Structure 1
Amino acid sequence: MDKAPILTDKKKEVTVMSRLIKNKYLLFIFSAVVLGLLCGNVQAQKTIKIRYFTGMTPAHYFSSDLLPFFAAEVEKRTNGSVKVEVYPGGQLFGYRDGIDATTMGAVEMGLTSLGHWGGHNPIFSFSDYFLLIDDMDHWFRARDEIHPILDALFQKKNVKVLYYSAYGGNGICGRVQIESLNDIKGLKVRAPVPGALACLAAWGATPIKIAAAEVYDAMGKGAIDACASSWGSMYARKFYEVAKHAVGPVWWTVWVNFISLDTWKSLSPENQKIIMEVSRDTEKRSLGLMKAFDKKSLEKLEQVGTVKILTSEEKKAWGKPLRPAYSAWAKKCADKGYGKQAEEILNILDRVR
């Protein structure tokens, strides 16, 4: 009779202990789940850093406006989950070193001319040729059809094209006034890339390739007669002090903004969408900036020398002798297995001209 209550108390004690153990176990599981969710949330909110290089000088509107605009908009629209750091003027990489770094995934983003990629594929050199593109409005009319061709080739290099930047018109500034093609014949004219050099030769000039830093002295000493350059560079580099005459535009180059495919694939679909939206906005912004920049540069050049702006009819006449140079480019592409793409690009540019 006296032992029954003792057994009951022991059972109660065991029951209470079991409940305590069970509650502690549940509390442990709950805490682990909450901690896991918190850690996952922290990981999801971790800031992704993207380094954006270009060799363009810090004073140019690419570096002073477009790239900072892109960076600020990406950070704002992603709520700080993606931060873009801009490195202009070769601070991180120059053009060609940066291209190699991007293809290897060693840097995330870059801005170069399309022609800087010519060593990787001759297709990318088409905008190196004079008057193949009439102006930036012409390029942007062709852009949507040409872009898939280019992007497919870029992706083979582990790169995705985000957007294109409008670069200003290029003309020829010289020691003598150039009014017609006959005035160019026999002149020693500097240009920076093979396509432009081929066009000068087609016009009967003697093409010269020297470093940009040597052009001023070379024209001043009469070692060269003229050079192909953008309106902005003509003024910024003070070429007018040694070559007061300019004619153009004869050359419009395409500039491309790209991201490493490794970086692109690491981004969430939401952030990819945001970056493409910002890219479209930045591309549109570039065209307005370019036109304002060219207008200002031409006004300055007219104050210190002469500027001849070619009419549409004159550009057509100046373009006819360049057809063999375009054909030589297309053949070079065909020899590398890209003849179809070259033909498509030429046809698109002609159709929307």
Structure 2
Amino acid sequence: MTIKRRTLLKGAGAGIAMAMIGRPASAQTITLRMSNYLPPMHGFTADFMKPFAAELESRTNGAVKAEIFDATTAFGKTERQADQVRAGVIDIALGLNGIPRDRFPASSIIEMPFLVENAGSGSKALWTLYKEGALGTEYDDFHVLGLMTHHGGLIHTVSKPVRTLQDLAGLRLRTPSPAVSAMLEAAGASPVGMPPAAIYENLQKGALDGVVTTWDLVGAIKINELIKYHTDARAYVAGFHILMNKKSYEGLPADVKTVFDDMTGDNLVAKMGGWWDKWDQRGREDAIARGNEIIELDETARNQWRAELEPMINSYLDGLTKLGVEDPQKLYARAQELVAQFDAA
């Protein structure tokens, strides 16, 4: 929160009609800082943060503006997004739940293999778990604006095609989270954690054999130039958080809070499926244009992978107990119910 914003909070704003704030010409501006860890061409900035900032400014009649910081800035470190919000250095951040590891262990339940295929269902399921209190206290330090997943992700490799689970053995693959790492280790692969900004260089110099990620990221960071094979297993997802500093939110005038509440929560989470449709399409089309091979796993193959990974799922759930998650098996069962419910809707 900037000094200008603190000044405004001492003299609260005017009335509100249909969530549009009337603002005296002399009023000073609230300036919010928003960050994420991906490059500016990624949809996180282009389709979420920039339109969000513009809508917020419009609906508050210019009373609220936002500065946006992405991976090209000092605020764009993947592992620092939540910490920056908690410290008040950043007001709002979009981060990856799995980095740093074990920060949001209960939320990782949504990342179990073959649980989620669709970002819309996965995001709504994760958000519902949060609203039900099933994720415990791991977000107590924040005002949570939304939680989400991407569509079922892919395995992208440079020189070795992955057609079976056994083909993963021996590959060094970038991983987005501990849950995905556990899946890769169970298949004999070596998971390597690193931020998106480091992926291209490590693929180029041979430190990685591939990357476990979505279509949108391979397009956004241009690694389709290096990748030759894309295995569309839809075997996993990663979880994301959109968090706001508690004091930043609580210090807002009541009318600005009303606008915020309308733009976030259920209404924000409902947009996730459509966004990932758009973002993934760009990466896929780029891979096709380059002549890369897309390996589609049929349901028989996916069922076989799922059965082979069952011991890994049970082991991972047992490990969550040590991280303070209450009854992980019950949480997993509830996540399965919710995903099935939203898939059928």
TM-score with structure 2 setting the length: 0.78
Give the alignment partner of residue 346 of structure 1, picking from 332, 335, 343: 332
Larger radius of gyration: 1
Q: Which residue of 2 aligns with 1:228?
A: 212
Aligned to 2:165: 181
Q: Deviations over 1:128-187 (max 9, x none)?
A: 54433222133145245312237752442x201112355354311221222222333344
Which letter maps to 2:31?
Answer: K
User: Which blocks of at least 5 consecutive residues in structure 1 are unaligned?
Assistant: 1-38
Is this contact kept in 2: 1:126–1:329, CA < 8 A? no
2:239 corresponds to which letter in structure 1?
V
CA deviation string 1:276-308 (max 9, x = no partner): 211244433342121022123212212321102
Pick the aligned partner of 1:300 from 286, 304, 317.
286
- 1:222 Cα deviation (Å)? 5.5
Structure 2's unaligned 5+ residue stretches are: 1-6, 14-27, 341-345
Residue among 265, 270, 273 paired with 1:284 = 270
1:72 paired to 2:54: yes
| Percent of residue pairs bearing the same amino acid type | 21
Secondary structure of 1:275's match? Answer: helix
1:25-44 paired onto structure 2 within 5 Å: 43-44=11-12
Alignment RMSD, CA only?
3.1
The residue type equivalent to 1:71 in the other structure is A
Offset at 1:87?
Answer: 1.6
Counterpart for residue 129 of structure 2:
146
Matches within 5 A, 1:36-185: 43-45=11-13, 46-89=28-71, 91-93=73-75, 94-116=77-99, 118-148=101-131, 149=133, 153-156=137-140, 158-165=141-148, 167-174=150-157, 175-185=159-169
Provide closer, same or farther for how the CA distance between residues 40 and 119 of structure 1 changes in structure 2, counting only shifts above 3 A: closer
Would you say the 8 A contact 1:330–1:339 is kept in 2? Answer: no
Amino acid in the other structure paired with 1:305: N
Flag the 1:237–1:140 CA change in 2: closer, same or farther, 3 A.
closer
**1:226 Cα deviation from its structure 2 partner:** 3.1
How far the C-alpha of 1:126 sits from its partner, in A, is 3.4
Task: Specify which of 273, 298, 301 is matched with residue 311 of structure 1.
Answer: 298
Q: Give distance in 2, aligned partners of 1:123 and 1:259.
A: 19
* AA aligned opposite 1:162: L
Q: Which amino acid aligns with 2:248?
A: T
Deviation at 1:52, TM superposition (A): 1.0
Question: Could you say which residue in structure 2 is the equivalent of 1:250?
Answer: 235
What's the CA shift for 1:330? 2.4
Q: Corresponding residue for 1:333? A: 320
Mapped contact 1:118–1:124 kept (Cα < 8 A): no
Q: Which amino acid aligns with 1:193?
A: S
Counterpart for residue 22 of structure 2: none
Distance in 2, Cα, partners of 1:71 & 1:297? 25
TM-score normalised over the length of structure 1: 0.76
Three-state SS of the structure 2 residue aligned to 1:255 is strand
- The answer to whether the Cα contact below 8 Å between 1:165 and 1:256 also exists between their aligned partners in 2 is yes
Instruction: Establish whether residue 263 from structure 1 lines up as the match of residue 231 from structure 2.
Output: no
- Residues 80 and 130 (structure 1), Cα distance of their counterparts in 2 relative to 1, 3 Å cut: same
Residue of structure 2 equivalent to 1:36: none
> What is the alpha-carbon distance in structure 2 between the residues aligned to residue 295 and residue 310 of structure 1?
18
